[in-house]
Structure formats: structure tokens, C-alpha cells
A and B are shown apart, each in its own frame.
Chain A
Amino acid sequence: MSDAIRHRLTPLEKSERRLGFAMLAPAFLLLAAVVLYPIAELIRNSFHFNHLAQPWMGTPFVGFENYVKALGDDRFHEAVLHTVLYILVTVPGAVVIGLGLALLANQPFRVKWPVRLGLLLPWALPLVFAGLIFRWFFEYNQGIANAMLRGLGLEPLNWLTSPGLAFFAICLAIIWKSSSFVALVLLAGLQTIPKSFYEAAEVDGATKWQQFREITLPMLRPAIFVALIFRTITAIQTFDIPYAMTNGGPGNSTETLAMYIHKTTVDFLDLGYGSALAVLMFIVSAVITSLYLRHTRRDPGRH
């Protein structure tokens, strides 16, 4: 509290405070039911054997056995590696493309809606739909990617059935889908930069490139940071697009951690092990989320 002198709360303040906590209650009740209780269950599950295909085994407590199993599980290691690769490629990729789109969109257009809708459409499209559309682009016989290769007189490629190319195609789809959100965030950042900065730089004879490096980039830093964190949080959970494009194939070469958890629980019915994997993932994303929260921490009551 801001007042230096400690004073007893007046009845009005007391009742305000009570009302305040009552108003927070619905949100926290919902969070408790949909997040906290399930997370507690998840952690409990992760220390138990729980295999729906072997109901006669019951659900005995097994300590850290599920976690130890993860240490030696090659498929889990590969899924983690793929997820990290997706993050390393698509997060910077989306930010670079998004910055490009934002710079292109930050012009004095006479008609604004085509550009605005051009940025909003990829954002509003469900991820699975983007995945399906890009799967269609990379189809061997009828896809547009191979049609272009043929047009250039090159051999068509097995985009979605060879590991490296499938990874590339998926990254392209993810970058397309997510770069427009990044562009919208960065565009808002660009519009807060005063025009006078550029005019002054112009007078001093700075080139466009110098203006970009010395004014635009430093001023955009907070917006870029927010975009990076948001993208990373969603990239850790990458599921929909590879699910729609390759379902993890060929083999498991494009399978992400989220997909492996989904398969372990829904297809292999191993709830105990799947839960342990989910706990591991949740710890990683909690670390990233806390970075974001530290950035946005502020007192909403003070302004």
C-alpha cells in the first residue's frame, strides 16, 4: 500500500476489500476447477502406474519410475529434440517475417482493410486448417510446391514423406500461421515511434538502413520481446500443424513432445507415463511463462 502512515481500515475500505475478493472468486474458482485440480491429478498420476490397457494391474504407487523411464526413452528424447528444433527455427523465423510484414504494413495506405485483413486472416484461421492447407500445398502429385518445381524444370520432391523436407514444410506452415500475429504486435510498436525521430535523422543525413538500425530496432525492442515470449510459449506446445500435415511421420521424425504425450495417453492408453511426460513439459513452459510475467509485472491499481 502506498500510504506511509499505517491506519486502521475504515468500514468502507473493509467492505470494499471484501467485495474485491468476492469479485475475484469466479475467476479463481474456474481456474481451480479447470487448471489447479487437473494439475494436482496430473502430478498424482505421474507417480502411479496407470495403464488403461492393463486394468488388472490396478494403479499402484511407483515413485519416480515413470520419470526414470523417460530418461531412457529414445522416442521421448527425439520428441524433445524435434520440439526444440521447431522452437529454434519457427520463433526467430516468425519474428523476422513478422517484422518484415509489419514494416510493409506500416505505410500510409489509402485503403486500409486489405492489409489489415491480410494480417488478421492467418491469425484467425484455426491451426489445423493451416496445417491442412499446407499439406495440400506440399502434396506430391497435385500440390503447388511440386508444380512450381516442375515449372522450373526440376524433379518434384517427396515433401511430406522424407524427414528433412517434412520438417521444413511444417516449419514453413508454422511461420506463415504465426508471423501475422507477431506482425500485428510489432505494427502497434512501430506506430508508437514518433515521426519526428525519423525527420531529425533525415536532416542529419542518415540512410534508411541507419534509421532502421538506430531508431526502429531499439524502439521496437519491448514489442519484439513480447512477441518472442508469446511465440515461444505457443511453440513449446506445437501440436496442431504437424498433426494435420504428417501426424508425426515419416516414422516419428516430425513428432513433437505434445504429440508424443497425446499418443502415449490417447493411443497407447498409458496414463501414468503420459502424465510424467506432461509434468516435465509443464515445468519447462512454467519457466518461460515466468519470464513473460516478470516483464509484465505491474500494479493494476496504481496508475
Chain B
Amino acid sequence: MKLLRNRRAMIILAGLIVAANGFFPALWILFTSFKTEVELMRVPITIIPQAPTIENYIRVFVDQPILRFLFNSVVVAVLSTLLCVTCSALAAYALVRLRLPGAGIILSVLLAIAMFPLISMMVPLFQVMRDLGLLNTWWALIFPHAVLSMPVCTLVLISFFQDIPRDLENAAMIDGCTRLGALWHVVIPLTAPGVFTAGILAFVNSWDEFLLALTLSPRVASRTLPVGITLYQGEFSFPWPIISAALIVAIVPICIVIAIFQERVVSGLTSGGVKG
């Protein structure tokens, strides 16, 4: 009995370590965001805010157009996700079902191109977007972000499509469906969890992307959250409580997304990488 209780305690301890490792930085930022500049100066430092204030949160919304950053992030992430999932689903279906010669090689080529390092595309993409007049628009980020997630989305969707028996589509096609009709009415509904998973991964990748957002959207009003947050630092000052509050505001939406869809995210991350 005692041995069993010890084992239980060990398991809980293991879980606490993992949870603490993940949550600690965000918690620390949360505490900081409620402190005053004066309290931050105190030595030894305090952990829990002694005189909590929401002043920092007010400054977050007053100092920079953070709602605008948030809006830009949402639009770019949603549209690039739709584009990415559509292209990946069509490609994955063709590779799985349509008996293309050299499907394996086509997949490798697709992955290889989509995995080129972003930094090496930064300058030419800047030139292309400038020539097309797309700098500082959402489109300058939507197209590259869609490519960013294409490898993982394609791999996830392939592994889901492979599990659908051919007979189901054949039956639909005998009933007068076209191929695309069968994909839309039979395969996609049956693989909805996979499509969803691919979508969440694409969304998070776009939400987090920094380098291109920094380079292709130089104007303040067109910045996404990760770039916008860096604007809170002054030339010589680094107002930590305000930056912490801004970080919390920026982290909350993505936390909600992953908290709601946690199981799907985990299965997607692992099926894209390990199965093979």
C-alpha cells in the first residue's frame, strides 16, 4: 500500500516537473505584468505582485496599436492556413490516389522546395513583393506563410488519406460523383480530424513567424504581433512591465487555441514527423 502511494507521488512529481517547465516563463511574465516599475526595482525581487496594477495593460493598448497587430496576425494566419490546407489537400490526394508515376519523387521534390531556409528567400521575396506593390499588405505574408507549413500539412494529410478505403470513393463515383466530388463529399468529411490538425499547425506556424513579418511589413500599421511587440522597447529603455503585459495579451489567443485543440495538435505534430 505504501509502495503504491509512493509510486503515485512519483508520477505526480513527474507531471509537475513537465508542467512547471512549460508554464513557468509564462507565469513569471504574468506576475511581472501586474507589477509597478518601482516594485521591479526592489532588491530582493518579489515574486507575487505586492500592489497589483493594471496600469501596464492600459499602456499596452495606448502606446501601440496592438489591436491592429492582433487583427493583422489573425487575418494573415487564417488566410494562409486556408491556402496552405487547400493546396496540401489537393496535392496529398493526388499523390495518394491517382496512380501518378513517380509519386514518391514528386513528394520529395515538394518537401525539398518547401523546406528551403526562409532567410535565403528574404531578400528576393522583398524585391518581388516590392515590384508587385504588395509590401506592407497581408498578401506579402500570406503566400510565404502558406508555403512554410506545406511540408507538415501534406505529410499529415497523406497519412490520413491513406487510411480511407478506396471502395468508399468508388461507390460514390458509381453513384455519379466526380473525383473532386468524391474528395469533397466523402474523403474530406471522413478525414476531418486530419484536415483540422493540419489547419491548426499551419495557423500556429503563421502566428509565430517573425523574420518575414519583420522584413516584408516595415510599416507599423501592417505589422503582426511578434514584430509589433518589439516596438514597445524604447531607444534606451526597456519597460519590462509593459512588455510583459503586451506579451500576455499576445500569448492569450494562441494559448486558447492550443488549449482547446491540444489532442489534435499533439497527434498532428507526431504523425507528420514520425510515421514513415
Measured CB to CB, the residues of A under 8 A from B are 1, 13, 16-17, 19-21, 23-24, 26-28, 30-31, 33-39, 41-42, 45, 101, 104-105, 107-109, 113-130, 132-134, 136-137, 139, 141-142, 144, 147, 150-151, 176, 180-181, 183-185, 187-189, 222-223, 226-227, 230, 233, 236-237, 239-240, 244, 258, 261-262, 265-266, 271, 274-275, 278-279, 281-282, 285-286, 289-290, 292-293, 295-301, 303
**Extra contacts besides A119-B22, A279-B120 (15): CB < 8 Å:** A23-B91, A27-B91, A36-B113, A41-B128, A109-B15, A118-B20, A121-B23, A129-B229, A141-B41, A147-B44, A183-B18, A188-B271, A261-B122, A265-B123, A300-B92
Q: How many whole Å from B182's CB to the nearest CB in chain A?
A: 11
Are A107 and B11 in touch, CB under 8 angstroms? yes
User: Which residues of chain B are within 8 angstroms of A41 by Cβ–Cβ distance?
Assistant: 124, 127-128
Query: Which residue in chain A gives the minimum CB-CB distance to B254?
Result: A124
A239 touches which of B119, B162, B179 (Cβ 8 Å):
B119
Are A105 and B18 in touch, CB under 8 angstroms? yes
Given A120-B262, A300-B92, is A126 in contact with B208 using a C-beta cutoff of 8 Å? Answer: yes
> Does B88 touch A at the CB level, under 8 Å?
yes
Are A121 and B123 in touch, CB under 8 angstroms? no
User: Which residues of chain B are within 8 angstroms of A20 by Cβ–Cβ distance?
Assistant: 94-95, 97-100
Given A19-B98, A19-B179, A34-B143, is A26 in contact with B22 using a C-beta cutoff of 8 Å? Answer: no
Are A222 and B258 in touch, CB under 8 angstroms? no
User: Which residues of chain B are within 8 angstroms of A183 by Cβ–Cβ distance?
Assistant: 18
User: Which residues of chain B are within 8 angstroms of A108 by Cβ–Cβ distance?
Assistant: 11
| Residue interface bits B139-151, CB-to-A below 8 A is 1, else 0 | 0000110110010
Are A121 and B258 in touch, CB under 8 angstroms? yes
Q: How many whole Å from A182's CB to the nearest CB in chain B?
A: 10
In the complex, which residues 1-56 of chain B have their Cβ closer than 8 Å to any Cβ of chain A?
11, 14-15, 17-23, 25-26, 28-29, 32, 40-41, 43-45
| Residue interface bits B143-178, CB-to-A below 8 A is 1, else 0 | 110110010001100100010000000000000000
Query: How many interface residues does B have (CB within 8 Å)?
Result: 103
In the complex, which residues 111-147 of chain B have their Cβ closer than 8 Å to any Cβ of chain A?
111-125, 127-128, 143-144, 146-147
> Does B110 touch A at the CB level, under 8 Å?
yes
B117 touches which of A16, A118, A142, A236 (Cβ 8 Å):
A236
Are A136 and B29 in touch, CB under 8 angstroms? yes
User: Which residues of chain A are within 8 angstroms of B43 by Cβ–Cβ distance?
Assistant: 141, 150
User: Which residues of chain B are within 8 angstroms of A1 by Cβ–Cβ distance?
Assistant: 99, 101
Measured CB to CB, the residues of B under 8 A from A are 11, 14-15, 17-23, 25-26, 28-29, 32, 40-41, 43-45, 83, 86-88, 90-101, 103-104, 106-108, 110-125, 127-128, 143-144, 146-147, 150, 154-155, 158, 162, 179-180, 204, 207-211, 215, 225-227, 229-230, 240, 243-244, 247, 250-251, 254-255, 257-259, 262-263, 265-266, 269-271, 273-274, 276
User: Which residues of chain B are within 8 angstroms of A139 by Cβ–Cβ distance?
Assistant: 240
Q: How many whole Å from A123's CB to the nearest CB in chain B?
A: 8
Q: How many whole Å from A297's CB to the nearest CB in chain B?
A: 6
B28 touches which of A133, A187, A239 (Cβ 8 Å):
A133
CA A42 – CA B180 in complex, angstroms? 38
Query: Which residue in chain A gives the minimum CB-CB distance to B261?
Result: A120
CA A239 – CA B15 in complex, angstroms? 32
CA A82 – CA B32 in complex, angstroms? 32
Given A20-B100, A33-B143, A142-B40, is A223 in contact with B274 using a C-beta cutoff of 8 Å? Answer: yes
Of B121, B257, B258, B262, the most chain A CB neighbours within 10 A belong to B121
Q: How many whole Å from A281's CB to the nearest CB in chain B?
A: 6
Are B270 and A188 in touch, CB under 8 angstroms? yes
User: Which residues of chain A are within 8 angstroms of B25 by Cβ–Cβ distance?
Assistant: 122, 130, 133-134, 137, 176
CA A108 – CA B196 in complex, angstroms? 27
CA A188 – CA B276 in complex, angstroms? 13
Are B255 and A34 in touch, CB under 8 angstroms? no
Are A42 and B11 in touch, CB under 8 angstroms? no
Q: How many whole Å from B137's CB to the nearest CB in chain A?
A: 15
User: Which residues of chain A are within 8 angstroms of B229 by Cβ–Cβ distance?
Assistant: 128-129, 132
Are B150 and A27 in touch, CB under 8 angstroms? yes
CA A226 – CA B269 in complex, angstroms? 12
Of A147, A275, A289, the most chain B CB neighbours within 10 A belong to A289
